[in-house]
Amino acid sequence: MANTWITHHKYPSNPQLFVTALYKVATLGGEDNPNFKPSYPSAEKYWKLFVYTSGKDAEGKALPPVVAGVRDGETDIDEFVNAAIAELCDRIDWSQQGEFLPEVDSAAPVVVEQYPLPGQTNVPINSPVVLRVQDLLPGNGIDVSSVSFKIDGLSVTPTAVGNKYDYTFSFSPRPIYSS
């Protein structure tokens, strides 16, 4: 059994528990058992994967688990668990989980890493410029289209990788060739 806490970006003080469990279950199936009258199929055991949540729906009712039969491999299990958690997150009414009110995104994103550092000297002219920016909870995320990146007053177009809450922007100057 694995437990995961998930927080909605508008309700960061209201995390919900998600439990992933693997059970061996028996259901009707297989060959008929001639030793019983009337003859019923024997019960075959197999693995089932369950994902539960503590979250409730819009009516305040507990959500049923998402269930899948045995999977082929680790990748299939990861994909199923991620999809099940996403499905349950969509079904949770995050505002109806007690006395929690949505929190307002009142803070701007923050730079959490930077290279080169401000005022750093002896930086090679062809070094990349890298900024890692995060929008901390309760954030709405970073709108990449609104980001402007300037180096020594010149606008440049950086490469952006990450997600809307944690982006790394980088710009690598063109190499300088001497002739």
Q: What is the pLDDT of residues 77-97, one digit of tens each?
A: 888 888 888 999 889 888 765
102 within a domain of the structure (yes/no): no
| DSSP collapsed to 3 states, 86-121 | HHHHHHCCHHHCCCCCCCCCCCCCEEEEEECCCCCC
Contact 115, 129 (CB under 8 A): yes
- Can you list the residues of the chain whose pLDDT is less than 70? 26-46, 70-75, 96-102, 176-179
52 within a domain of the structure (yes/no): yes
Contact 76, 43 (CB under 8 A): no
Three-class secondary structure of residue 78 per DSSP: helix
Task: Tell me how many domains the chain contains.
Answer: 2
pLDDT for the residue numbered 111: 92
| pTM above threshold 0.85 | no
Domain end residue (candidates: 61, 96, 131):
96
pLDDT tens across 131-157, in order? Answer: 999 988 778 889 888 889 988 888 999
